[in-house]
Structure 1
């Protein structure tokens, strides 16, 4: 199953890094001099480790002649440059949330005004705007409980058992839905209360197709990739 991933990104910091020369980004990553500028990590969520991202950035720059030949990353439109944009956006992230794509229909769709037609809709900023607005009128416990009750109702409609004695995965799955829905509520609440920008993407999606705010990464700085 494919995971959808959400990040809270400090767009101001990302814009600053994107305005740097590629060789300066490489030097800063090699010398770990950008670590102090990373947004403070939200301890409730995972995010990529400094050393891992530094290594990926350096490996990508060293392995791509196209990137090394440009003054500023915002001027480059090749695939490697899009990958670098994504890595730098993750560098500027304070929190990451992820779950199976199929589960998002259960977590998000009931809160929207209209059905989600396709999983690609989970990349659309309008979907997350609606979802965030809907969550603002409820609390974490009520939202999580509604997700679990909806899941139980759907199982019963399909004739599936809700007896733990008959299906040992019932309780672990219920707890997983509760935990994930609560953490989804938390990250959306953090988004509303901060000046961070939401970045949405999924596994196996080309880097330029990730959404940062209201634009694809390939278009976020005026470049058409």
Structure 2
């Protein structure tokens, strides 16, 4: 009898932990839950608007045919369609971006803490890649996967892993990407390390990046733009 109970407990635990491992944004429990972006109530997501006030505009966004402004330090521009631009995405677990790259432009190494990303190139040539974590027992190192993409090529970046896209061509490049979160978030590695307010101790950064304290001070004094 004890063995049976232990087996049931194990199966219950396995079921719960397995579902958590594959969970992303919460699944919707109704047709839609259009976000009330003006609500002062804090929940995991956004409060629903009254369905009687919902219109087609809540599910609509235009402008993705227009190139973004790449006249910045990165030479790139991300045009998002996330919960902030489309209230109708609330609880649906999806979002979308357009990324424009000037020649030599980069979408710098960054992560999306809440989403995987699948990217398709529609114009130009991109060098893309991502780095694994070091938790694989058979390969404790960080492995780098990269590819040169041309129009029509598709590449996927797993959730939470550091990745980038770089336009090393002589013409503009354009890509579109879908992400499996209404609010995937973005953490740009350089910005997070050298640009937060208040700053991280330069002693900590010097030790972590194996740099001199003076080099860290120079980096912390630089502007760290987002695109």
Q: TM-score, normalised by structure 1?
A: 0.22
Larger relative contact order, structure 1 or 2 (CA cutoff 8 Å, min sep 6): 1
| Structure ranking higher in strand proportion | 2
| TM-score relative to the length of structure 2 | 0.22
Q: Which has the higher helix share?
A: 1
